[in-house]
A and B are shown apart, each in its own frame.
Chain A
Amino acid sequence: MKKLKLSTVALAIAGPLAAAVVSITISSLAVLASHKSPIDAYKTMWDFGTTSGSLMQMLNTATPYYIAALAIAITFRAGLFNIGVEGQLRLGAIFGAYLGAKFILPPVLHIIAIMVIAMTIGGLWAAIAGYLKVKRGVSEVISTIMLNSLAGGLSSYLLANYFVDRTTNSNNMSTKTLPASGQFPDLMPLLNKFGVEDQPGGGVYGMLVFAIALGFVFWFVINRTRFGFELRASGSNPIAARFSGVNSKRMVFVAMALSGAVAGLAGLPAVLGETHAFNMGFRTGIGFSAIAVALLGRNNPLGMGISALLFGFLEVSSRSLELIDIAPETYVIMQGSILLSSVIAYEVVRRYKITLQSKELAKAVAE
């Protein structure tokens, strides 16, 4: 028994380690291809990435990734795949920003109201895919991808024609600025108290704290509640889940809608914490990076947290590569190779684990 545990730990480390070696090799080759030294590149990235300004940006990049990854993980655990997080978070953000600027509520309530709006919109958008899957048998993978493209067109249409704030004269189309009660306080004042100094353009999204809390809620709901159990059962064996009394169609629909609702929140850290409005500069690609974060973190709240930080770190620190004349886009190679080598490593480890357990079992039975 003890030996089994030890080898389990070794296995848990072996996967990521192998993946790291492979991805560092590939990334180094990419840097070498542009006739530069990989060592220099990593050193530059590390030096720049570990300054407190960069670390703050890392946290700010990681926060939406984490929330979006939680959303995707809900569907993964249910045996589904919500690729439409990008569209859901975009629509959630634009409706949250636009409607949130229309009313004034006491500080905390206002933020909650905006979150509810964003969750509702994101949830409804994803529910379309859930409905099509349950009623018409349309693969959620394809429908959510189509819904992504629709959300992109729809949000720019809405912004340009209805949601734009015409009182300000700016080239950057934007919704009206949120009132102070609808802005999520920055963590900077708090950090100042701990001796962290202000950084130019700095600040840490207050929603970081919210995201961490969401991670705990995710863990509890998925791993310790009946709903979570039924969701996971549908994911690991849908037929057995149905035989055990889970309404599989409803589960598909609920999981998609819930995932969309959480995804709706992923656009808010920037909207509530920085721009205080939805504008043309709204970051694209969060939903896709979050797929990688979820896969890399194995749908586990802690793992996804680490992955989100890693992705944020790579993105922010790679900006320094410009200084030594290496394309900063190198980080996409790093992220991509980490992702691919990890999913392969996880699968190899999973298979090995079953073999190992069978062996242990045979021994235990023989004794």
Chain B
Amino acid sequence: MSVAVELRHISKRFPGVIANKDVSMSVETGTVHALVGENGAGKSTVMKILYGMQRPDSGEILVNGTTVHFKNPNDAIEASIGMVHQHFMLADNFTVLENVILGSEPQHGITIDFAAARTKVVEMAAQYGLEIDPDVLVEELGVGQRQRVEILKVLYRGARILIFDEPTAVLVPQEVDDLFNALKGLRAQGMAIIFISHKLDEVLRVADDVTVIRAGSTVAEVKSKDVTARQLAELMVGSELPQPSTHGDTRRPEITLALKDVSIPTKSGSRDLISHVTFNLHAGEVVGIAGVEGNGQAELVEAIMGLRDYTGVIEFSAANINDLSVAHRRDLGIGLIPEDRQRQAMMMESPLWENRILGHQRGKPVMNGFVLDMKTIMTDTKSIMEEFDVRAPGPQTLAAALSGGNQQKFIVGREMSKAPSLLVASHPTRGVDVGAQGAIWEELRRAREKGMAIVLISADLEELIGMSDRLLVMLRGVVTAELDPAKTTPEQLGSAMTGAS
């Protein structure tokens, strides 16, 4: 076996931040090599450097034994390196075919030779078991199929070295199995695969070798058969991982939130976005909503918050709130941690103190009548930052300057500051580092003990199982199952989510 890619002592600084410091790894052909590390450890930077999207400050990259200097992704593609991005890099309004050939279109005179391209793509898809209709628009595809398009894109360009950036983050267990089968097929064809992940059990399932990266530096390179998940985790974090869990039953008799037969019909009259959802949520209880993304969870949140029209009845503290606006519902004591913090919960170019007000602009403590109470806002912002360990110089710092984890801690702090009786938390720990994750779980636990009711939506099945008192599974807008988290494994939950069981 020969070495396909080798990184030697790569370092990269961004203004004020060291992203990579002395990273080295060596990937052999015909193997799957995992690169693991927690969020913010510098995995993506390594891959961006290898893919020519960024240039290292120092260090060397060797492909098949020769030193290369990539100026842009084109150079990397030339060197037969391909990347399957975590956030799919697809144009929704283009067909599969257009997405695949973009940038290396077969020519026929001055036009694109669509016929030749179609033939090639169909053949390739069959060869690697990635069948897909080349003429359908990408926006009509599901997550798993989109990933196929991404892989086809890379293969179409003749890649022999494939980088997969957190490919399983958006997949359900069954889709993960399909992906891993495809990876094994590619490996058998003599390709080198770099698999970036922080899900250690998956890494051990699929990888031959593992490189661990922590705080921007490589800390270990091991054979996967020689280590356990626990050992890897400790290498990755340098200490023990926090566990999502709650203790005891803190459920109180009073019902905080009740949904009765709630549906969201579509305008076109096709299948409801959510259909006849009914459940009660007690004070001091956490209900976890499990489901593959796009099965109605986002719409459920919007219905509870009053952001969307629905039929049926939603009651809060035994009162019908159907006619109340978003503002009124918030006033009553419903807090929200939305799924997309930058888009839905922050003004990125505003200072933190203004972000402190957002969502709370209708009363104390930030308001004095209709006028902003600047003094209180400033002290309050500071105290949230201290209490929730938001690392920033002060309330005047722009939200955009904060890291994702700090932004999320700030949002959690802001919503908790009002001590709402109901918290709707969508993916509260998505994309945050391990330390922040543990802190957010701890906050939720404490609030639950004090009687807060929580609707928890997450794609992280361990978080759902660990934090919830009760699990509801949503599939195509319908609650298809209710599970007891104490008796449910992630595998069982995954099957329930896809409707396989």
Q: Which residues of A contact B (CB under 8 A)?
A: 1, 4, 223-227, 229-230, 232-233, 236-237, 239-247, 350, 353-355, 357-365
Would B359 and A244 count as touching, CB distance under 8 A?
A: yes
Would A245 and B327 count as touching, CB distance under 8 A?
A: yes
B397 partner residues in chain A, CB cutoff 8 A: 357, 361
User: Known: A243-B338, A245-B326. Contact between A361 and B348, CB under 8 A?
Assistant: no
Please, which residue of chain B has its CB at the minimum distance from the CB of A355? B15
**B372 touches A (CB below 8 Å):** yes
Q: Which of A4, A226, A358 is B367 in contact with, Cβ under 8 Å?
A: A226
Interface residues of B: mostly helix, strand, loop or mixed?
loop
Q: Which of B16, B305, B347, B393 is A237 in contact with, Cβ under 8 Å?
A: B347
Would B359 and A364 count as touching, CB distance under 8 A?
A: no
For the complex formed, measure the closest distance between the CB of A240 and the CB atoms of chain B, giving whole angstroms. 5
User: Known: A245-B326, A358-B16, A365-B391. Contact between A230 and B401, CB under 8 A?
Assistant: no
- Cα A289 to Cα B46 in complex, Å, equals 50
Q: A232-B350, A243-B307 are in contact. List 7 more A-B contacts (CB 8 A).
A: A225-B372, A229-B372, A232-B354, A236-B350, A240-B345, A357-B398, A364-B392
B367 partner residues in chain A, CB cutoff 8 A: 226
Contacts A/B (CB < 8 Å), 10 sampled: A226-B372, A239-B344, A243-B307, A243-B345, A244-B345, A244-B358, A245-B359, A357-B398, A358-B17, A362-B17
- Within residues 343 to 364 of chain B, which ones have a CB less than 8 A from any CB in chain A? 343-350, 354, 357-362
Please, which residue of chain A has its CB at the minimum distance from the CB of B363? A226
B402 partner residues in chain A, CB cutoff 8 A: 361
- Cα A362 to Cα B370 in complex, Å, equals 36
For the complex formed, measure the closest distance between the CB of A51 and the CB atoms of chain B, giving whole angstroms. 43
Would B370 and A226 count as touching, CB distance under 8 A?
A: yes
Q: Which of B307, B349, B371 is A224 in contact with, Cβ under 8 Å?
A: B371
Would A240 and B392 count as touching, CB distance under 8 A?
A: no
**B260 touches A (CB below 8 Å):** no
For the complex formed, measure the closest distance between the CB of A233 and the CB atoms of chain B, giving whole angstroms. 6
User: Known: A364-B391, A365-B391. Contact between A243 and B359, CB under 8 A?
Assistant: yes
B16 partner residues in chain A, CB cutoff 8 A: 358-363
**B330 touches A (CB below 8 Å):** yes
A239 partner residues in chain B, CB cutoff 8 A: 343-344
Number of residues from B at the complex interface, CB < 8 A: 42
- Cα A282 to Cα B160 in complex, Å, equals 72
Would A247 and B357 count as touching, CB distance under 8 A?
A: no
Would B371 and A225 count as touching, CB distance under 8 A?
A: yes
Most B CB contacts (10 A, CB to CB) among A239, A354, A357 go to A357
User: Known: A1-B393, A354-B398. Contact between A243 and B346, CB under 8 A?
Assistant: no
- Cα A229 to Cα B354 in complex, Å, equals 8
For the complex formed, measure the closest distance between the CB of B346 and the CB atoms of chain A, giving whole angstroms. 6
For the complex formed, measure the closest distance between the CB of B343 and the CB atoms of chain A, giving whole angstroms. 5
A4 partner residues in chain B, CB cutoff 8 A: 393
Q: Which 9 A-B pairs have the closest CB atoms?
A: A362-B16, A245-B327, A244-B359, A359-B16, A357-B401, A236-B347, A245-B326, A365-B391, A358-B401
For the complex formed, measure the closest distance between the CB of A219 and the CB atoms of chain B, giving whole angstroms. 13
For the complex formed, measure the closest distance between the CB of A360 and the CB atoms of chain B, giving whole angstroms. 6
- Cα A230 to Cα B350 in complex, Å, equals 13
Would B343 and A237 count as touching, CB distance under 8 A?
A: yes
B372 partner residues in chain A, CB cutoff 8 A: 223-226, 229
Please, which residue of chain A has its CB at the minimum distance from the CB of B372? A224
Would A364 and B393 count as touching, CB distance under 8 A?
A: yes
- Cα A298 to Cα B481 in complex, Å, equals 55
User: Known: A244-B358, A358-B401. Contact between A227 and B347, CB under 8 A?
Assistant: no
Would A243 and B336 count as touching, CB distance under 8 A?
A: yes
Would B370 and A227 count as touching, CB distance under 8 A?
A: yes
Q: Which of A225, A232, A241, A359 is B370 in contact with, Cβ under 8 Å?
A: A225
Would A358 and B15 count as touching, CB distance under 8 A?
A: yes
A223 partner residues in chain B, CB cutoff 8 A: 372
- Cα A173 to Cα B392 in complex, Å, equals 64
Would B361 and A240 count as touching, CB distance under 8 A?
A: no
**B325 touches A (CB below 8 Å):** yes
Would A246 and B401 count as touching, CB distance under 8 A?
A: no
Q: Which of B347, B362, B370 is A240 in contact with, Cβ under 8 Å?
A: B347
- Cα A228 to Cα B16 in complex, Å, equals 35
A353 partner residues in chain B, CB cutoff 8 A: 398
User: Known: A240-B343, A359-B15. Contact between A247 and B392, CB under 8 A?
Assistant: no
Q: What are the interface flags for B136-153 relative to A under an 8 Å C-beta threshold, 1 for contact and 0 otherwise?
A: 000000000000000000
Would A226 and B358 count as touching, CB distance under 8 A?
A: no
- Cα A98 to Cα B484 in complex, Å, equals 75
B392 partner residues in chain A, CB cutoff 8 A: 361, 364-365
**B400 touches A (CB below 8 Å):** yes
Would B393 and A243 count as touching, CB distance under 8 A?
A: no
Would B325 and A243 count as touching, CB distance under 8 A?
A: no
- Cα A362 to Cα B19 in complex, Å, equals 12
A240 partner residues in chain B, CB cutoff 8 A: 343-347, 358
Would A247 and B325 count as touching, CB distance under 8 A?
A: yes
Would B344 and A233 count as touching, CB distance under 8 A?
A: no
- Cα A227 to Cα B393 in complex, Å, equals 29
Would A245 and B15 count as touching, CB distance under 8 A?
A: no
- Cα A247 to Cα B329 in complex, Å, equals 13
Would B394 and A1 count as touching, CB distance under 8 A?
A: yes
Please, which residue of chain B has its CB at the minimum distance from the CB of A245? B327
Q: Which of A1, A226, A233, A361 is B347 in contact with, Cβ under 8 Å?
A: A233
